[in-house]
Amino acid sequence: MIPVQGVEDQTIAVLGLGRSGKATAAALAAGGAHVIAWDDGNDTRASAEAEGMRIVDLTRDGAWEGVTALITSPGIPHLYPRPHPVIARAYALGVPVDNDIGLFFRSYATADWEGFDRMPRVIAVTGSNGKSTTTALIHHILRECGRPTQMGGNIGTGVLSLEPAHDGEVVVLELSSYQTDLARALTPDVAVFTNLSPDHLDRHGGLGGYFAAKRRLFAEGGPDRAVIGVDEAEGLYLAGQMSMAPADDRVIRVSAGQKLDGPGWSVFARKGFLAEYRKGRQAASIDLRGVKGLPGAHNHQNACAAYAACRAVGLAPREIEAAFHSFAGLPHRSQLVAEIGGVRFVNDSKATNVDAAAKALQAFPRIRWIAGGLAKEGGIAGLLPHLGQVSKAYLIGHSARDFALEIGQIPHEISETMEQAVTRAAAEAEAGDTVLLAPAAASFDQYPNFEKRGEHFTALVEALQGR
C-alpha cells in the first residue's frame, strides 16, 4: 500500500466503494486522514460498513462539514453527461475533487528515496486501443531484463495498492481517459500515447473532450520523455505540442505503418520489421514476424510504443528484442486460444469498438468472424473496408440482425449465442482458417463484461479440443 501524503488529520470523503474506492480509503487512513465514505448501492455500503468503514450519506448537506476533499472512483461521471449529485455538491461547496491517480502521483515519492542508488521511475500509458497490451509488454520487458517493476492502474493492481517504491524500480501504469481526466497530479517520467479513435464520447462530451482527457497526461506534469503514436492527427498535434524543435529527442514518435522521417527520435514498424531512428540514422531493427504474442499491425504498433518506452529508461535494443519473444500476450486481446486441425481460434473479446475490431480483422487471413453484442453508436459501417479477409460472419447478441444488414454481401448467419457461433464456425472452418472473436460491440447484452465473454469463448474452444 502507498499511504497518501499531506492528509493527516483531514476529513476526506470517498465516493464509490468498489475495488479502487476501498483501496483509496485504506491508503488515506494509512496517511492519517479521517475517512468518510459513500456508495449508491445499498449492498456495497453494507459490505464496506461491515469492514469498518465510516459510511456517511454525502447526499445530505450536513455531511460535508469539515470535509477538505472528495475522492471519486473513475467510473462515476464528474462532468458529462452530467456530474453525479455528490460531485456536483462538492463543486458547489468548493470542495476539491480528485481520484486515486492524483493521490498516487502526489504520494509515490518519499524521503526514503534519498537513500536509493537509482531513482524509481513511472511509465504511464494511455490511448484508445492497445494500452493494456503495451503496458503489460513494457512490464514484461523490464522484468525479463532484471529491472524491479510493478504494474497497475487500469490493469492489474490499483495504484494505491502497489508497494512503496524499491531502489531503481519502474512502475508501469495503464491509465484510461476516466482516470486522466480528473487527476489533479499527473507527473510520469515517461508518458505513452498509443492512438485515438472514438470511444466514451458521452462521458467526455465528444471527441474533443475525449482527446483532451488523454492529453492531460502530457500537459499537466511535463514528462521527461513522451512516446506518441502519430498515425492520427491528434497524435501529430500532441507530438508537435510537446516538441521544442525537430530534433528534440524528448519526444519519440511511433508509427505502425509509415517510415518516420526527420532528425528526431522515432520508432516505426513496416512490413513486420521494427526500426529505431535517431538523428536521421537507423539505430536498431527487429523482425517482429516471428513474435507469436504480437500478431498483426496493431500489435506491431504496441511493440513500437513499448520498445520506445523501454529505450527511454535505458534498456538496450537486443535486451528488448529477446523479451519480445517470451511475451505470451494478454487474455482477450488477439489471444491464440488453440489450434485444432490447422484452424486457429483467437479471442479478441476486448475489440469492443470498430477501430479495435478493424485491427484484429487485418491481422489474420481467411477469417471466420464472430461478432455482435450491444452495438455502439454508429454500428459497424466503418468496418466495411476491412472485411475482405472474412470468409463468413457468425453474428450474436442484441445487434446480430443490425450487423447483418450493415455487412451486406459478406456471407453470414444469425447465430444468436456464442455456443451456436463457435459450433458453426468450427464445423465450417478448414485448415488455414482463423475463427476470430472480435465483437465490435459491448458485451452487456449477454455478459457482465468483455472478460466473461472471452472466457466463455475460450471454454467453448477448449471443449472442442476435448472431443
Has 133 been labeled as part of a binding site? yes
Q: What does 177-237 look like in DSSP terms, one character per residue? A: HHHHTT-S----SEEEE------SHHHHTSHHHHHHHHHHHHHTT--SEEEEE-SSHHHHH
Cβ proximity of 74 and 176 under 8 Å:
yes
- Chain centroid to Cα 415, Å, comes to 30
Cβ proximity of 73 and 15 under 8 Å:
yes
Has 154 been labeled as part of a binding site? no
In the beta sheet, which residues pair with residue 266? 253, 277
Distances from the Cα of 255 to the Cαs of 304, 348, 462, in angstroms? 7, 22, 36
Cell, residue 98: 480528485
Distance CA 137, CA 143 (A): 10
**Cβ neighbour number for residue 8 with a 10 Å cutoff:** 11
- Could you give the 3-state DSSP secondary structure of residue 201? helix
97-98 vs 67-72, strand pairing mode = parallel
* Helix residue ranges, H only, 51-158: 85-93, 100-107, 131-144
Cβ proximity of 436 and 350 under 8 Å:
no
Distance CA 459, CA 342 (A): 19
Has 130 been labeled as part of a binding site? yes
Backbone phi and psi for residue 61, each to the nearest 5 degrees, phi listed first: -60, -40
Has 129 been labeled as part of a binding site? yes
The label of the residue with cell 466463455 reads 456
Side-by-side strand order, sheet with 434-437: 335-340, 343-347, 434-437, 367-372, 390-396, 412-416
In the beta sheet, which residues pair with residue 335? 347
Cell, residue 392: 463468413
**Torsion sign over Cα 59, 29, 99, 302:** negative
In the beta sheet, which residues pair with residue 71? 14, 98
Distance CA 36, CA 56 (A): 6
- Could you give the 3-state DSSP secondary structure of residue 32? coil
Has 127 been labeled as part of a binding site? yes
Has 132 been labeled as part of a binding site? yes
Cis peptide leading into residue 81 (ω within 30°) = yes
265-270 vs 190-193, strand pairing mode = unpaired
Has 44 been labeled as part of a binding site? no
The label of the residue with cell 472514438 reads 198
Question: Which residue ranges are tagged as binding site for ATP?
Answer: 127-133
> Which residues belong to the annotated binding site?
127-133
